[in-house]
Structure 1
Amino acid sequence: MPLKVDSIDEGLGTKDINIRSLSSSSHCQTQNTPYIHKVGVPPRQKLFKEFTSIVKETFFADDPLRSFKDQSKSRKFVLGIQAIFPILEWGRYYNLTKFRGDIIAGLTIASLCIPQDIGYAKLANLKPQYGLYSSFVPPLVYAFMGSSRDIAIGPVAVVSLLLGTLLQNEIDPLTHQAEYLRLTFTATFFAGITQATLGIFRLGFVIDFLSHAAIVGFMGGAAITIGLQQLKGFLGIQNFTRKTDIISVMRSVFSAAHHGWNWQTIVIGASFLSFLLFAKYLGKRNKKLFWVSAIAPLISVILSTFFVYITHAEKQGVQIVNHIAKGINPSSVDKIYFSGQYLLKGFRIGVVAGLIALTEATAIGRTFAAMKDYQLDGNKEMVALGAMNVVGSMTSCYVTTGSFSRSAVNYMAGCQTAVSNIVMSLVVFLTLEFLTPLFKYTPNAILAAIIISAVVGLIDIQAAILIFKIDKFDFIACMGAFFGVVFVSIEIGLLIAALISFAKIFLQVIRPRTAILGKIPRTAVYRNIQQYPDATQVPGVLIIRVDSAIYFSNSNYIKERILRWLTDEQEQLKAACQQRIQFLIVEMSPVTDIDTSGIIALEELYRSLQKRDIQLVLANPGPVVMHKLHSSDFASTIGEDKIFLTVADAVSTCSPKLAEEV
């Protein structure tokens, strides 16, 4: 019984185009040729139904409302609340065992985040307390709305530096502190709005346009830039450039070498940086000792602060933190710019910072979700991150996101749920209420050492090597982003990363790959002759595969590329006195779609082949393509007996000699 292949589910009225058997075909047929399979044609779909189908697949592929089907109104209300606040769902199954893991993890990441927050605030040109504020309110909001069990929320180095760089280009943080602070909260507000909007309208795929290679390069360049910025505190330099490029920074460092460096500061910074790197090395060598690297920053702060206090090293030029405001977050609702000249600037900066923060959090969340084998709802994550930044902007916080270093510690410490963020938040609360005066004598060199040790992990050399081995164009994107950040600025590096990522997509769309296929010996399989050297071409037949959808952007190129393949083959055959090409078979299984320009290109290809006395044959067009071939009458133009299910069917019909061999 012959195989019937349909393009859609049974029962939907599939129409079949009957490819004539060899006994009735008009060309190159013998009675020994096997039955040729049918190619299904899907029924015509109404425009509105087709449009809604595309929209659903683009924005609602995961069918988020499936759990609401066939539910009572009260149950739908409960499910809706749980969708917004996942803690109400998993909280019902929370127990003491999970709390034990969460409290240990929360205390561990709190010991790491407190010294980091003070240092990261300086990267954003803010006072230290704003870093602590940002690890109090946002983690609480995320714990109730986030769906990741492992992400630890707070300020991160890359976003802090990016925000500080963009903000200081608009307002001087030293001479206009109040306006700078207001613009910070405004940018944070719009960062949250951007993130929440992407989640609500299910536009998370936007961040996927930054390729992995571009992110690796951007993060590595940002790590170098952040490390260079810490030379000010590490060397005890008073006057330091505000530019972030390596040339400006190194010029500033060496110009201060004769009179601006402080040897006591260097000793403190170098000693504790060595200790921090050694602790991190121990944590990597032995996973059970992860807590050593986690508490090392807090130990460093305590020891260095005590040392400066008893020796009064600040009188010898060692720069210290000085005053950190005591008390929890004051309200900042009235400080956000909702009008005026800074509104648009805050919006622009917020969108950029929000997207970068979202990209980092999404990558972290996906990584740990895969490690623990649970599903992460990307759109819920965006809404949660957006909500926490909107609330944060109203409670004196700046842009926060998932921190990779803290999340890794959170994971290794045995966190079970987002309660670890609540525990961390409570520890930060206690620190703000009672412990901030103890940080007065903390040397800036320690904060610099902590940040340097934290960002070292952002430089992923192995990933860059792997990218080079896999895809050279990806490596160009990686290096473009890296050098853009290091030699120009962090925002230029980000722009380069985005442009190269888009350029790669653009080139792949307008210049798709094509390949000549040959028959694998003793099979009915046809593959790329460049990949399979033993694949042989069929005499009198040229088989070309198009590895892309055919759109207006590439249709003319594909037509011309096929004709160039044909011309080259004809010249080689003529020189070798071999049989000329009589059939051109286009393998269309990779062609997922075709538009009007694509159909016109096929028509032009058909007419060009007619002039050369070559017949055009199509193999395995998909349902969408098949529908459009019939809607345009192109199938009738070339003949419905020239459309085959497989290349083997097409070849066996066009080449009786090969059919006899098979």
Structure 2
Amino acid sequence: MGHPVSHEGENKEMDISRSPSSRRQTENAPYVYKVGYPPRKKLVREFTDTLKEALFPDDPLRQYRDQPRSRKLMLGQAYLFPIFEWGRGYNLVKFKGDIIAGLTIAGLCIPQDIGYSKLANLDTQYGLYSSFVPPLIYAAMGSSRDIAIGPVAVVSLLIGSLLQDEVDPVKNKEEYLRLAFTATFFAGITQAALGFLRLGFLIDFLSHAAIVGFMGGAAITIALQQLKFLLGIKNFTKKTDIVSVMSSVWGSVHHGWNWQTILIGTVFLAFLLTTKYIGKKNKKLFWLSAIAPLISVILATFFVYSTHAEKHGVQIVRHLKKGINPSSFNKIYFTGPYAGKGFRIGVVTGMIALTEATAIGRTFAALKDYQLDGNKEMVALGTMNIVGSMTSCYCATGGFSRSAVNYMAGCQTPFSNVVMSTVVLLTLLLITPLFKYTPNSILASIVITAVIGLIDFKAAYLIWKTDKFDFVACMGAFFGVVFKSVEIGLLIAVSLSFAKILLQVTRPRTALIGNLPGTTIYRNIEQYPEATKVPGVLIVRVDSAIYFSNSNYVRERILRWLTDEEEEMKERELPRINFLIVEMSPVTDIDTSGIHAFEELLKSLEKRKVQLTLANPGPVVIEKLQSSKFTELIGNDRIFLTVADAVISCTPKAIVDV
């Protein structure tokens, strides 16, 4: 920012300076730095630097520089397919950990997949299909060591609710299935495109608070939907809001409930919740909650088979198609009205699936202290869903419950997904007929147990304590899902997230600054009540970049501060304000509208006979102020490195007294 000024008799090395204009000397402060001006960038260089920082902050090409062609080819291969990177150091110890983890999550995912397929209004085998092909693709292309791939509750509910608004899953079963594959295809295209174009930052626009509310509302909605199977109700509403669901439940209490189904469901629900509680309390017993769903399915299926409970109204799976995924490429709509509907549903579903997978991946990457490449993850997730849509799969992503089990079971690499996929393959080939007598109520119990963890009371309470507007966004998303629909809740979540951004951009914070007694430090007088105002000087800090969206507000807010301060000085019969110092260190950027607003501010201050002074503008800001010749308008001698320097120039006697 500049260099120190030397005095006669002192070390001459202090006199070295690249820019003599970047230093100055005062009587009371012998070494005072002055604001430096960065070298001007050419337009092309400025544009490329900005684009690079926006889209390539991690500089993915840095490892390819100065490398021979063979090395570049190998690095490029490993970049697109991380399996070539972690596969080189693979050993027996890692293999053992992946085998154990893969077998453990397979025991959890098989009953979950069957239950989640019902959420998507699809036949039960499609849940298993979606845990066979996509995990294999992800194992080769994914960069997370811990994510376990397959159908998840929220995405299954979302795709099911959006699809049934377009096509009836019972009357037009084939068209519904084709639309599901079409939506999955476009979900994959969306995810892969975001990764290839380095636009992964777009999913960050959905705030954490909105996600917490949306997930909590979706969990309750999913649990309510399972009442159909838990209570044995045949005629159930297709709506997902809590009012419609509860009306359907209580409306069928006398003629629609089946006590045998309720008995099976509640007994195993209690068993699953108990094992989950034990696994949560004792981390060493996590495997108990992991295998509990499979044990429940086996016991419940055997009970129904041996007692022929299906003859007494207990609803069972009945038919689970045997064999591996058939091709579904010819079932995807690439043209026509259903292609447009599939695209719309796919974009929404793909974004939500990305958000969940990214949050899960980042969580476990932080626990194991390794870096997760978000854009590579998007390409991997997108590719697996594109391939999945062509092999009879619906939208898959990283599931929290199975990923947590994968992590606790000691997974080492994405190969645990391959192990899980292999077990699912054997299930499809060999034992699917055994699921014929599996009661729907046990699947409902498994789904309810899985989604309970999505309701995060602690996170909601922390949001309330930290940021009230965030809490409004959280509750807005929550109540939108619970009382209206999943898509309305999602719309509210996105809208409130954007509303917060717009509010912060258009109405940035400003603060009055005072001096901490006995120092040259200046801080917000609300945060530090002991900070004192400098007589005759008003110091204001702007805590935001200044753009067209907020420039007029910043100018008017500064003038309001000045007016309020002048009235207070007049009432207390104190000296009037002669200097206005704007502390600009938090101002990261300014555009032409912002500069114009400062020009208008300067004119208004001149009419009031108040001198404008700027303190510590950053390199981007000072460069633009210089390019627009605002520095000439205000005077280079009115721009200082610190607030203390600016105060010295305004009130030299006052600073001596301090």
How far apart in 2 are the matches of 1:17 and 1:215?
Answer: 52
**Helix, strand or coil at the partner of 1:241:** coil
Kept after mapping to 1: 8 A contact 2:4/2:32 = no
The answer for the alignment partner of 1:126 in structure 2 is 122
How far apart in 1 are the matches of 2:79 and 2:158?
Answer: 32
Residue identity opposite 2:236 in structure 1: F
Q: Deviations over 1:18-44 (max 9, x none)?
A: 56545xxxxxxxx44544322111122
Judged with a 3 Å threshold, the aligned counterparts in structure 2 of structure 1 residues 437 and 303 are, in CA distance, closer, same or farther, namely same
**Helix, strand or coil at the partner of 1:527:** strand
The answer for the alignment partner of 1:80 in structure 2 is 76
Kept after mapping to 2: 8 A contact 1:14/1:41 = no
Unaligned runs of 5+ in 1: 6-12, 23-30
Matches within 5 A, 1:249-398: 249-398=245-394
2:109 paired with 1:113: yes
The answer for the alignment partner of 2:227 in structure 1 is 231
The answer for the alignment partner of 1:494 in structure 2 is 490
Residue identity opposite 1:464 in structure 2: A
The answer for the alignment partner of 1:214 in structure 2 is 210
Q: 1:424 aligns with which of 402, 420, 424?
A: 420
CA deviation after TM superposition for structure 1 residue 75, in Å = 1.5
How far apart in 2 are the matches of 1:323 and 1:598?
Answer: 67
**Helix, strand or coil at the partner of 2:88:** helix
271-280 vs 78-87, which deviates more? 78-87
Q: 2:549 aligns with which of 541, 553, 575?
A: 553
The answer for the alignment partner of 2:619 in structure 1 is 623
CA deviation after TM superposition for structure 1 residue 659, in Å = 2.1
How far apart in 1 are the matches of 2:201 and 2:652?
Answer: 50
The answer for the alignment partner of 1:565 in structure 2 is 561
The answer for the alignment partner of 2:395 in structure 1 is 399
CA deviation after TM superposition for structure 1 residue 3, in Å = 3.7
2:172 paired with 1:139: no
Q: Deviations over 1:629-657 (max 9, x none)?
A: 11111111111110000000011111122
The answer for the alignment partner of 1:466 in structure 2 is 462
Kept after mapping to 1: 8 A contact 2:506/2:550 = yes
Residue identity opposite 2:517 in structure 1: P
How far apart in 2 are the matches of 1:77 and 1:32?
Answer: 63
The answer for the alignment partner of 1:505 in structure 2 is 501
The answer for the alignment partner of 2:11 in structure 1 is none
Judged with a 3 Å threshold, the aligned counterparts in structure 2 of structure 1 residues 161 and 610 are, in CA distance, closer, same or farther, namely same
Kept after mapping to 2: 8 A contact 1:542/1:583 = yes
The answer for the alignment partner of 1:641 in structure 2 is 637
**Helix, strand or coil at the partner of 1:92:** coil
Kept after mapping to 1: 8 A contact 2:191/2:382 = yes
Kept after mapping to 1: 8 A contact 2:118/2:124 = yes
The answer for the alignment partner of 2:189 in structure 1 is 193
Q: Deviations over 1:2-27 (max 9, x none)?
A: 8459xxxxxxx9767456545xxxxx
CA deviation after TM superposition for structure 1 residue 473, in Å = 0.4
332-341 vs 398-407, which deviates more? 332-341
Matches within 5 A, 1:565-604: 565-604=561-600
How far apart in 2 are the matches of 1:391 and 1:371?
Answer: 31
Residue identity opposite 1:106 in structure 2: G
CA deviation after TM superposition for structure 1 residue 92, in Å = 1.1
Kept after mapping to 2: 8 A contact 1:17/1:640 = no
**Helix, strand or coil at the partner of 1:417:** coil
Q: 2:46 aligns with which of 33, 44, 50?
A: 50
Q: Deviations over 1:157-193 (max 9, x none)?
A: 0000000000011110101111111010000000000
2:146 paired with 1:150: yes
Kept after mapping to 1: 8 A contact 2:3/2:23 = no
Judged with a 3 Å threshold, the aligned counterparts in structure 2 of structure 1 residues 429 and 33 are, in CA distance, closer, same or farther, namely closer
The answer for the alignment partner of 1:26 in structure 2 is none
Kept after mapping to 2: 8 A contact 1:322/1:441 = yes
Q: Deviations over 1:342-369 (max 9, x none)?
A: 0100001000000000000000000000
Q: 1:36 aligns with which of 32, 36, 41?
A: 32
**Helix, strand or coil at the partner of 1:257:** coil
Q: Deviations over 1:216-236 (max 9, x none)?
A: 000000000000000000000
2:508 paired with 1:515: no
The answer for the alignment partner of 1:8 in structure 2 is none
TM-score (norm 1): 0.96
**Helix, strand or coil at the partner of 1:40:** coil
How far apart in 2 are the matches of 1:201 and 1:70?
Answer: 25
CA deviation after TM superposition for structure 1 residue 475, in Å = 0.3
TM-score (norm 2): 0.97
Kept after mapping to 1: 8 A contact 2:147/2:399 = yes
Q: 2:602 aligns with which of 602, 606, 609?
A: 606
How far apart in 1 are the matches of 2:478 and 2:420?
Answer: 33
Residue identity opposite 2:152 in structure 1: V
Residue identity opposite 2:543 in structure 1: D
**Helix, strand or coil at the partner of 1:437:** helix
The answer for the alignment partner of 1:175 in structure 2 is 171
Residue identity opposite 1:568 in structure 2: D
How far apart in 2 are the matches of 1:326 and 1:444?
Answer: 19
Identical residues among aligned pairs (%): 73
CA deviation after TM superposition for structure 1 residue 340, in Å = 1.3
CA deviation after TM superposition for structure 1 residue 84, in Å = 1.1
Q: Deviations over 1:498-533 (max 9, x none)?
A: 000000000000000000000111211100000001
CA RMSD of aligned residues (A): 1.2
Kept after mapping to 2: 8 A contact 1:653/1:659 = no
Q: Deviations over 1:73-97 (max 9, x none)?
A: 1211111111111111111111111
**Helix, strand or coil at the partner of 1:621:** coil
Kept after mapping to 2: 8 A contact 1:15/1:43 = no
Q: Deviations over 1:103-125 (max 9, x none)?
A: 00000000000000000000000
**Helix, strand or coil at the partner of 1:330:** coil
**Helix, strand or coil at the partner of 1:41:** coil
2:56 paired with 1:60: yes
How far apart in 1 are the matches of 2:503 and 2:644?
Answer: 32
How far apart in 2 are the matches of 1:385 and 1:420?
Answer: 16
Kept after mapping to 1: 8 A contact 2:200/2:375 = yes
How far apart in 1 are the matches of 2:30 and 2:634?
Answer: 23
217-226 vs 36-45, which deviates more? 36-45
How far apart in 1 are the matches of 2:284 and 2:31?
Answer: 66
How far apart in 1 are the matches of 2:224 and 2:265?
Answer: 14
Q: Deviations over 1:448-505 (max 9, x none)?
A: 0000000000000000000000000000000000000000000110010000000000
Q: 1:165 aligns with which of 146, 152, 161?
A: 161
The answer for the alignment partner of 1:99 in structure 2 is 95
CA deviation after TM superposition for structure 1 residue 381, in Å = 0.4
Kept after mapping to 2: 8 A contact 1:19/1:37 = yes
How far apart in 2 are the matches of 1:393 and 1:476?
Answer: 37
Kept after mapping to 2: 8 A contact 1:163/1:349 = yes
**Helix, strand or coil at the partner of 1:616:** strand
Judged with a 3 Å threshold, the aligned counterparts in structure 2 of structure 1 residues 376 and 32 are, in CA distance, closer, same or farther, namely closer
